[in-house]
Homo-oligomer: A and B are copies of this chain.
Amino acid sequence: MPKPELLETFANPYPGRDYEIHMTCPEFTSLCPLGGVESDAAELELLKGGAPDFATIEVTYVPDELCVELKSLKLYFWSFRNDGIFYERVVNRILDDLAERVKPRWMRVTGDFNIRGGIKSVIRAETGRR
């Protein structure tokens, strides 16, 4: 289950300047919802046929008072590992969780998911004004 409480922040060392931070995590994995129902009873689900999903998550933002701490972001991403969750929710949820903690001037989250059924999906959402 996504654990936004894992996210930690530190004070932006250059709050007087609009600058951009871009982070890419090529090792995101969650599970496909079993029978279209989202769930976190992962191991059970996995052996019944719920497929793992793999994605590269990109986060770009212009910090205001806070920056997200890199190691805590990694732990937060790990907390999706055994969750059955839709692509659209993954991306919008990450955006909501990060925006609530970091309160950036602008933020964009992109999820680039591996091919499933011969089709590749990319979801992109953003908040704030650049």
Q: Which residues does A use to contact B, with CB under 8 Å?
A: 10, 12-14, 17, 19-27, 29, 36, 42-43, 46-47, 51-52, 54, 67, 70-71, 73-75, 78-79, 81-82, 86, 88-89, 91-92, 114-127
Contact = CB atoms under 8 A, between A and B. Distances in A.
In the assembly, how many copies of this chain are there? 10
A17 B92 contact: yes
Task: Report, nearest first, the 7 A-B pairs whose CB atoms are least far apart.
Answer: A19-B125, A22-B122, A24-B120, A14-B92, A27-B118, A74-B117, A20-B124
A38 to B, nearest CB: 10
15 contacts: A13-B86, A19-B91, A19-B125, A23-B119, A23-B120, A23-B121, A24-B121, A25-B118, A27-B54, A27-B114, A47-B79, A52-B78, A52-B81, A73-B119, A115-B115
